[in-house]
């Protein structure tokens, strides 16, 4: 017969609740103003590190050698400006609006710059990066990267939705429409992933494309652009359908359809936090941060970094230093600040929703995630006010804070955040002062503070029964079918059967032990 441990026993977890939370409090209080100042220092042309960049242009990092990041990436810039836009809309900083105007003006020009990916009408919008003087970068690179236009559209639509003046929105619409038309017509084509390495289909890219199209359809409707609205809605449904196909039934989201890796990758954590919509609750089809799939995925992603010396001796129920993916060799393959912070942010987002809805579900899918944090957890629905709800949310908060604790531990005294810290001793490495690292710190802090970003329309979406993979090519597949088309089958084989077996055993072990302890 099953029994539950009394709440006070559960709360005596080895996590040290108070320690983690006061460390995170102190670190965010110290680091947030530094992150904000250092982020702004990387935006041209007033930013101290970005005087050579045109107004509104975000440099990836001031580093000019080993690596040279003195370029502007569409992805990094959109994520950074989405952070700035959210802060402005939330009333956190009224001084940011001229900077946002500069970003918009710069993107309006950049969209038209012909580059190795094409002209504005032949694929140039998928170009990943430009020189900081806004000329094309013509060296060889992993191109195109189709997440860029989607992320930019999302940032600009979020901005448009906050504007009171219709003429300002109408003025923005042509830029937004260019990006959305690009996404609507190319989402089903091969892309380099956000790490610029694998050319295939990529979960992060599909997820942010879906969000952009969904938000774009709503804006188009509001502006009376009915034909655009119809196109975006149709392709949003198709991308949502395709999005489901990345799930590996062993318990995690596969990052890329190509690449020959396990598929466990920060790609998927970042997808979850950048498509967070509190109105969607713990919805699985849009992979919301508190969905059972996203929690189990987080569990497997984090555990895959037990290979880092830096994580040796850390109990598996405490924060690890995490990187892009375990097989990474870039700068010898290290933890990244922005990926470790993304894990914390996903958990803070989850807490926001559990607290709003006053309910938390432990499903058979999310069970291993919860069970490894709190012994004796049982599958069930727990309402706010119950001791189990209190214990589980406290444990998740402590767990989230412990990832921040890792970042705090490896942040130098001056508060600077590079791209990576070494897997051996945590020394900062690769690009210094990475703008995206600072944005990740700010968004994690906002999520911890309970910030609820504007809804983008993820609530109540249903996956069409039959997916249309390519409107032009008109191939169809059924996500619920037992046989999957070659491309998806290939993914299973490529991911390596042996590795999957090992992981499955670890997964089963946690379940069995936890059931026995129960
Ligand atoms: C390889 C890295 O893994 C990738 O992320 C990076 O963008 C390129 N090299 C260029 O530096
Ligand atoms: C390498 C990362 O893999 C990529 O995602 C990023 O856009 C660039 N560096 C610039 O920060």
Report pLDDT for 276.
Answer: 98
Segment (H or E) for 504: helix 497-517
How far apart CA 305 and CA 316 sit, in angstroms, is: 10
pLDDT for the residue 19: 82
In tens, the pLDDT along 96-124 reads: 999 999 999 999 999 999 999 999 999 99
Residues 6+ away with beta carbon under 8 Å from 479: 241, 244, 245, 463, 467
CA 475 to CA 493: how far, in whole Å? 23
Give me the percent of the chain exceeding a pLDDT of 70: 87
What value does the CA radius of gyration of the chain take, rounded to a whole number of Å?
Answer: 22
Q: Of the residues 31, 86, 127, 193, which is catalytic? A: 193
* Beta pairing, strands 247-248 & 199-200: unpaired
Is a pLDDT exceeding 70 seen at residue 494? no
120 CB burial (10 A radius; 0-12, 13-18, 19+): middle
pLDDT at position 108 is: 98
193 is catalytic: yes
Task: Tell me which residues have their CB closer than 6 angstroms to ligand 1.
Answer: 67, 195-197, 330
Question: Of all protein residues, whose CA lies closest to atom 11 belonging to ligand 1?
Answer: 67
Cβ count within 10 A of residue 311:
20
| pTM for this prediction | 0.91
- Choose among 436, 412, 318, 478: nearest CA to 39: 436
- 243 prior amide bond cis, ω within 30: no
Q: Is the pLDDT of residue 90 over 90?
A: yes
pLDDT at 183 over 70: yes
| Ligand number, closest to the Cα atom of 338 | 2
Decide if 219 contacts 161 (C-beta within 8 A): yes
- pLDDT tens for each residue of 374-404: 999 999 999 999 999 999 999 999 999 999 9
Q: pLDDT tens across 422-477, in order?
A: 999 999 999 999 999 999 999 999 999 999 999 999 999 999 988 887 543 333 33
Integer angstrom CA distances of residue 41 from 5, 62, 87, 103, 131: 51, 9, 17, 14, 18
**How many CB atoms sit inside 10 A of residue 138's CB?**
9
pLDDT at site 18: 57
- Contacts of residue 359, defined as CB under 8 A and 6 or more positions apart, other chains included, come to 381, 382, 383, 384, 389
Kindly state if the Cβ of 73 falls inside 6 Å of ligand 2: yes
CA-closest residue to ligand 2 atom 10: 60
Query: Which atom of ligand 1 is the closest one to the Cα of 141?
Result: 10
15: confidence class by pLDDT, cuts 50, 70, 90? very low
pLDDT band at 496 (very low <50, low <70, confident <90, very high): very low
Out of 196, 487, 499, 518, which one is annotated catalytic? 196
3-state secondary structure 78-117: HHHHHHHHHHHHCCCCHHHHHHHHHHHHHHHHHCCCCECC
Query: What is the pLDDT averaged over residues 122-139?
Result: 98
Ligand 2 pocket check for 336: Cβ under 6 Å: no
Q: Mean of the per-residue pLDDT values for the chain?
A: 90
């Amino acid at each position: 017969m099953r029994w539950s441990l009394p709440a006070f026993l559960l709360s005596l977890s080895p996590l040290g609740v108070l320690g983690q939370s006061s460390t995170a409090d102190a670190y965010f209080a110290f680091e947030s103003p530094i992150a904000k100042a250092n982020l702004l220092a990387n935006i041209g042309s007033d930013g101290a590190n970005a005087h050579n960049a045109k107004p509104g242009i975000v440099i990836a990092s001031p580093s000019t050698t080993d690596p040279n990041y003195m370029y502007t990436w569409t992805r990094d810039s959109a994520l950074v400006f989405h952070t700035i836009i959210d802060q402005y809309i939330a009333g956190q900083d009224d001084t940011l609006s001229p900077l946002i105007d500069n970003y918009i003006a710069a993107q309006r020009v950049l969209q038209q710059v012909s580059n190795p990916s094409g002209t504005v009408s032949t694929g140039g919008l998928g170009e990943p990066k430009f020189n900081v003087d806004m000329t094309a970068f013509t060296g060889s690179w992993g191109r195109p990267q189709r997440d860029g236009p989607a992320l930019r559209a999302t940032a600009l639509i979020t901005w448009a939705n906050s504007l009171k003046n219709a003429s300002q929105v109408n003025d923005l619409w042509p830029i937004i429409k260019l990006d959305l038309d690009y996404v609507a017509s190319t989402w089903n084509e091969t892309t380099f992933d956000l790490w610029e390495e694998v050319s295939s289909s990529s979960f992060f890219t599909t997820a942010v494309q879906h969000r952009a199209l969904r938000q774009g359809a709503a804006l188009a409707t509001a502006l009376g652009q009915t034909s655009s609205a119809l196109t975006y809605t149709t392709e949003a449904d198709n991308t949502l359908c395709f999005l489901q196909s990345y799930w590996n039934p062993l318990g995690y989201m596969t990052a890329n359809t190509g690449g020959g890796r396990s598929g466990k990758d920060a790609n998927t954590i970042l997808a979850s936090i950048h498509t967070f919509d509190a109105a969607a609750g713990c919805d699985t089809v849009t992979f919301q941060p508190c969905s059972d799939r996203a929690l189990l995925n987080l569990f497997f992603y984090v555990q895959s970094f037990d290979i880092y010396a830096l994580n040796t001796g850390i109990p598996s129920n405490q924060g690890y230093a995490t990187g892009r993916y375990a097989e990474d060799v870039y700068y010898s393959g290290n933890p990244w600040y922005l990926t470790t912070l993304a894990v914390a942010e996903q958990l803070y987002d989850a807490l926001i929703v559990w607290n709003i809805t006053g309910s938390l579900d432990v499903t058979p899918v999310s069970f291993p995630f919860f069970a490894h944090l709190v012994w004796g957890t049982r599958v069930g629905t727990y309402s706010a006010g119950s001791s189990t709800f209190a214990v589980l949310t406290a444990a998740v908060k402590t767990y989230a804070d412990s990832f921040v604790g890792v970042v705090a531990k490896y942040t130098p005294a001056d508060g600077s955040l590079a791209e990576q810290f070494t897997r051996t001793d945590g020394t900062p490495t690769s690009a210094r002062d990475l703008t995206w690292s600072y944005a990740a710190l700010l968004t994690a802090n906002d999520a911890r503070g309970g910030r609820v970003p504007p809804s983008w329309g993820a609530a109540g979406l249903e996956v069409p029964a039959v997916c249309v993979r390519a409107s032009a090519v008109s191939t169809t597949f059924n996500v619920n079918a037992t046989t999957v088309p070659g491309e998806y089958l290939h993914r299973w084989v490529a991911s390596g059967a042996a590795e999957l077996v090992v992981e499955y055993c670890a997964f089963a072990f946690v379940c069995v032990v936890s059931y026995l302890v129960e």
